[in-house]
Amino acid sequence: MDPLVNLPDWAGMAPMLAFAVTALVLFLLDSIEPESDSLSLTVLTGVGLIGSLAAVVLSGWFLLEAGPVELFAGAYVVDEMSLFFTALIGSVTALVVLGSHDYIAETDYRAEYYSLVFLAATGMAMVASANSLAAAFVAVELVSLPSYALVAYLKHNRGSVEAGLKYFLVGALSSAIFVYGISLVYGATGALQFDMIATAIDGDALTGGPGILGLGILMVIGGVAFKTAAVPFHFWAPEAYEGAPAPISGFLSSASKAAGFVLAFRVFTVAFPLDAVSGTFDWTLAFLILSIVTMTLGNFAAATQEKVKRMLAYSSIGHAGYVLMALAAFSGTGAESLLADVSNDSLLLGAGMMHLLVYGFMNTGAFLFVALAEYWGVGRRFEDYNGLWREAPIASAAMTVFLFSLAGLPVGAGFLSKYVLFMGVIGAGLWWLVVIALVNSALSLYYYSRLVKALWIETPETPHEIDSYPAGIYAAVVAAAVVTVLLLPGFGVVAEEAIAAAGALL
Amino acid sequence: MIETQWYLLLSAGVFSIGLLGILVRENALIYLMSVELMLNAANINLVAFSLQHGNLTGQVFALFGMALAAAEVAIGLGIILVLYRNFETIDVTVPTTMRW
């Protein structure tokens, strides 16, 4: 098929550039109107919404119309997987921008807040496209540095500052470990670009024996584990998500986690292909252990929480464990899957991508509901949410959709993405891993329904005093709920795209 | 010419000193310095391996690493500053308003 217009290769970066340009436009607006309270918040939100939706539309257009593009001598690739994740990141960014509109209305430096969100989104889109460890490291830092500042954004709030500090401390440590791992991989293979690393490993051209490469891969896993909030680098997550402004918690736990996973998918399938490195370091075993520990710890810790935001933070760790199963069950062979006429590996990665997509909507939506509750000053504990449906029936209904979809009940697409993921893991012969995941899902239903019960059944000790209904957060919550439900009938179409994207990578 | 394994030994030593500093010291500024040590250990590796492999990839990446380390310190110092304003200390073990 002839393209409609002949675009230069660099046009493939357009979705990522949409984020970058938006960040710069916001900085420009801020410097034209430096008095922070005179700059209209509506203008900022509008620019942010246009920018993030432009990224979604552009990546969707490239996904359907254009082929894969390699840029910068192969260090940056725009392919189906990177475009899928850019669309995901753009959607989450749009929700976060809309949800932040009322949340940050009373604070200073609002233009900077939005710019930082867009700089982090730029980094996430770059992570999705990075095809070299150097590009990946720079992109990961571009995600992390604005995120630290955003978590500590409420600078007179001790919780926010503490959260920012802890996020920064763990993040700085893990990025040091990540870059040291990269240096060891470079030492063993003499290359930083993913396909060249694979060639060097495959051709047995390793310097310094397999030990250096193995240690390097292990340290790279450490860097990925931090971004995805997986054990053992999960310590920052409950603190950072609880203390951060709630829209930022949603942003980090959905988009930032997705960026970490796309990096993991690309690094481990392209740079360290299983058949070449299995003699040195069998990374599926590492991901198997990480997956089991992460989902179990996340879900059990979530079940014991008294605060809603912290429960969601731990549940976010648990969901990282589910997606890690996609890498744990990876086989590197072209074995057929149980569900469709594709290889089981592409089904697994596609299901992981779908779960991250659905998770992007339902989890961001859930955190935005918490943002709504924080805006009203409802309180942080489960009991404080008692009987909230009387004041906010629509938002409560949306929250119920999010929570049940997170648990894997078929009211939202969370059910289908989990189902396909589990079928992929069974197809790889790891049925006992699915049993562990099912036990965890059952446990998660307990703590999610605790909140649903509080919202709809319990009666509040003192009636909630709610006098204003913030339009921005409401619109974002409702939009997220609608998409979560619509992905249920629309799942097949999007999943085909995701599985094809995963297949193109393998 | 000094053989590459000596550079590797040096970088492993620097990395371990940094890690030890992170684990035992409570001052946030010392923590930042320790992270810098760990990042620079990676730079030593990159430059040494670059020489051994005879390509410039590693040296260029070491420059990237330094720039990013500087950016990280800038953000880190900002966070330590607001930490001091809120808690009147830069001891990283003091802020414990949230507990699991």
Which value does ipTM take for this structure? 0.95
Total domains in chain B come to 1
Backbone angles phi, psi at A262, to 5 degrees: -65, -35
CATH number at residue B46: 1.10.287.3510
* β-pair type (A76-78, A69-71): antiparallel
Q: What is the DSSP string of A107-150?
A: SS-HHHHHHHHHHHHHHHHHHHHB-BHHHHHHHHHHHHHHHHHH
pLDDT value at residue B100: 45
> Do A358 and A412 contact (CB within 8 A), yes or no?
yes
Cα–Cα distances (Å) from A52 to A18, A49, A387, in that order, read 7, 5, 35
B 27-86 residues inside an 8 A Cβ radius of A: 28, 31-32, 35, 38-39, 41-43, 45-46, 48-50, 52-53, 55, 57-58, 60-61, 64-65, 68, 71-72, 75-76, 78-80, 82-83, 85-86
Interchain CB distance below 8 Å, B42 and A180: yes
Interchain CB distance below 8 Å, A168 and B75: yes
pLDDT value at residue A462: 80
Interface membership of B18 toward A (CB under 8 Å): yes
Give A280 to chain B, closest Cα distance, Å: 20
Domain that holds residue B64: 4-94
β-sheet bridge partners, residue B91: B27
Q: What is the DSSP string of A399-458?
A: HHHHHHHHHT-TTSTHHHHHHHHHHHHHHTT-HHHHHHHHHHHHHHHHHHHHHHHHHHTS
Q: What's the average model confidence in pLDDT over B3-20?
A: 92
pLDDT value at residue A204: 67
Q: What is the DSSP string of B14-78?
A: HHHHHHHHHHH--BHHHHHHHHHHHHHHHHHHHHHHHHHHT-SHHHHHHHHHHHHHHHHHHHHHH
pLDDT value at residue B99: 60
Long-range (24+ apart) CB contacts under 8 A made by B9-14 are: B10/B44, B11/A180, B11/A183, B11/B41, B11/B42, B11/B44, B11/B45, B11/B48, B12/B41, B13/B41, B14/B38, B14/B40, B14/B41, B14/B44
Q: Which of the two residues, A464 and B41, has the higher pLDDT score?
A: B41
Look at residues A327, A297, A328 and name the one whose alpha carbon lies nearest to residue A315.
Answer: A297
Give A61 to chain B, closest Cα distance, Å: 33
Measured in Å, how far apart are chain A's first and last C-alpha atoms?
Answer: 24
Residue A431 amino acid letter: W
Interface membership of A123 toward B (CB under 8 Å): no
pLDDT value at residue A4: 53
CB atoms within 10 A of CB B13: 13
- CA closest to B72 among chain A residues: A145
Answer whether residue B22 shows pLDDT above 80: yes
Q: What's the average model confidence in pLDDT over B38-46?
A: 94
Interchain CB distance below 8 Å, B45 and A239: no
Domain-embedded: residue B99: no
pLDDT value at residue A1: 44
> Do A362 and A402 contact (CB within 8 A), yes or no?
yes
Give the nearest partner residue to B68 out of A141, A152, A191, using CB atoms.
A141
Summarize pLDDT for A290-308 with one digit per residue, the tens. 999 999 999 999 999 999 9
Residue A273 amino acid letter: P
Q: How far apart are the C-alpha atoms of A87 and A13, rounded to whole Å?
A: 13
Mutate to test the interface with B, among A147, A158, A179, A220 (most CBs of B within 10 A): A179
Q: What is the pLDDT along chain A (506 residues), one digit of tens a residue?
A: 445 567 788 888 899 999 999 999 999 998 887 676 667 888 889 999 999 999 999 999 988 887 788 888 889 999 999 999 999 999 999 999 999 998 888 888 888 999 999 999 999 999 999 999 999 999 999 999 999 999 999 988 889 999 999 999 999 999 999 999 999 999 998 889 999 998 888 876 676 667 888 899 999 999 999 999 988 888 889 989 999 999 999 999 999 999 999 999 999 999 988 888 877 788 899 999 999 999 999 999 999 999 999 999 999 999 999 999 999 998 877 777 777 778 888 999 999 999 999 999 999 999 999 999 999 888 888 888 888 888 889 999 999 999 999 999 999 899 999 999 999 999 888 899 999 999 999 999 999 999 999 999 988 888 787 878 898 999 999 999 999 999 999 998 899 889 988 988 88
> Do A115 and A27 contact (CB within 8 A), yes or no?
yes
